[in-house]
Amino acid sequence: MSKQMSHLDNIPSTPGKFKMDKSPYIHNRLRWHSSLVKLTFWSFIFLGLILIFFFRSPSSNPLPQDPSRRSLRTYNWGGPSWEKRVRSSARVRSRNGISVLVTGAAGFVGTHVSAALKRRGDGVLGLDNFNDYYDPSLKRARQALLERTGVFIVEGDINDSALLRKLFEVVAFTHVMHLAAQAGVRDILKGKSIPIFEAANHGTVARDFTYIDDIVKGCLGALDTAEKSTGSGGKKKGPAQLRVYNLGNTSPVPVSDLVSILERLLKVNAKRNIMKLPRNGDVQFTHANISLAQRELGYKPTTDLQTGLKKFVRWYLSYYSGGKKAAG
C-alpha cells in the first residue's frame, strides 16, 4: 500500500451408600459418619471443579510463566459473554454475505474497511492490540464508532496463536483482511515545524497519495475476488488463498504541493523546515505499482489529491474540535 494522507466428568455421583442399622446409637454414628464422608467427598468435587474450570477456562490467557509468550501483553479475552459478542459481530446479515476477520481494525484503513463491510451486510470481527505507536485515543474513538455500527474489536495480538485458534473455533470466518501494521502518520495544526525534504539541487520530492475511499474499494475488491477454500458448512477444502496487493496511486505529487494545499484548506502557514534528502534513505520519487490490483481487482483510484484533502481536512477539524466524536 502506498502513502496515505494520514499516514483479537463426569463425576461418579455415588457418595458412599450406607445400609442403616436399626440401633439408634449406631444409626446416629453411621449418619454422622455418612455425612462426614459426604462432606469430604463434595469438598473434593468442589475443589476439583474449580481446578477443572481454572485449566479449561476459555480465557486461557497466556500464563506469565510461559517464556515464549512473555513478549505479548496479556489481554482479557474469552468467556461466554465475550464469545457472544464475537458471534454477533461476525454474523452475516445479507444473503451472499461473507464473514471477515479484520486485523488492525482500530487503524485508519481497518476502521473504514470494517464499516464498509458492515454496511453491505457482511459479518465483521475486528482484532487490534491498540498499541501506542501513535495516539491510542484515536483508535479508541474508532472502536466506539464501530461499536455503534455493530462491529466488535477484540483486543489482542495477531501473534497470539491461542487467541486466533479460539476466534476460528467460535466463528467460521470466510475471509481474513489483514491490515494490522505499524505505519507512520505525521498532519501542521500543532504549529510544529514539519520537515520537507528536497533532493540534491533543490529537486522536488514527490510522493503518491491515495484517498481512503479508493483504498477501501481496493480492499473490498480483494475480498470479493478471493477463491473459496471451504465447502458447505465451512468445511476446509484446501489451504486458503493468500494474496497481497499494492494499493495506491500512480501520479506522485510533490510533497511541497501537498503542504500548500493543506495550508490553503486549513488557513494556516506551515512552518516548513527544508532539509536535504538523506543519500542512503528515502528516494526522490515513489509511486505504487498498482498493475496487479488493476488487473485482478479492477482497482482504479478516482479521488484526486485536492478533493481528497478537502474531505480529509473537514473530517480532521470536526474530529479535533468537536470533542473527538467523528472518528470516521
Ligand X SMILES: *[C@@H]1O[C@H](CO)[C@@H](O)[C@H](O)[C@H]1NC(C)=O
Ligand Y SMILES: NC(=O)c1ccc[n+]([C@@H]2O[C@H](COP(=O)([O-])OP(=O)(O)OC[C@H]3O[C@@H](n4cnc5c(N)ncnc54)[C@H](O)[C@@H]3O)[C@@H](O)[C@H]2O)c1
Give the C-alpha separation, 270 to 306, whole Å: 17
* Window of 26-34, 46-54, 66-74, 252-260 that interacts with ligand X by CB under 6 A: 66-74
Using rule CB under 6 A, residue 260 touches ligand X = no
DSSP state of 30: H
Q: Smallest distance from the beta carbon of 272 to ligand X, in angstroms?
A: 32
Residue number closest to ligand Y, CB atom? 107
What backbone torsions phi and psi does residue 21 show, to the nearest 5 degrees? -85, 150
Q: 68 touches which of ligand Y, ligand X, none (CB within 5 to 8 A by kind)?
A: ligand X
Residues 96-125 close enough to bind ligand Y by CB under 6 A: 103-104, 106-110
DSSP characters over 79-134 = SHHHHHHHHHHH---STT--EEEEETTTSHHHHHHHHHHHHHT-EEEEEE---TTS
- Taking the least distance from each CB to ligand Y, the nearer of 103 and 174 is 103
* Coil vs helix vs strand at 128: strand
Give the residue from 7, 2, 1 showing the smallest Cα distance to 183.
Answer: 7
Interface characters, 152-191, with ligand X (x: CB under 6 A): -------x--------------------------------
Strands 152-155 and 123-128: parallel
Using rule CB under 6 A, residue 3 touches ligand Y = yes
Question: Residue 300 has which C-alpha cell?
Answer: 482504479
DSSP characters over 195-217 = EEEEBGGGBPPEE--B-HHHHHH
| Residue from 68, 232, 280, 321 in contact with ligand X (CB under 6 A) | 68
Residues 289-328 close enough to bind ligand X by CB under 6 A: 289, 291-292
Using rule CB under 6 A, residue 71 touches ligand X = yes
* Window of 131-139, 182-190, 209-217, 284-292 that interacts with ligand X by CB under 6 A: 284-292
Q: Which residues contact 49 (CB under 8 A, 6 or more apart)?
A: none
Give the C-alpha separation, 68 to 5, whole Å: 38
Q: 131 touches which of ligand X, ligand Y, none (CB within 5 to 8 A by kind)?
A: ligand Y
Residues at the site binding ligand X, with contacts judged by CB under 6 A: 68, 71-72, 159, 289, 291-292
Residues at the site binding ligand Y, with contacts judged by CB under 6 A: 1-4, 7, 103-104, 106-110, 127-131, 139, 157-159, 179-183
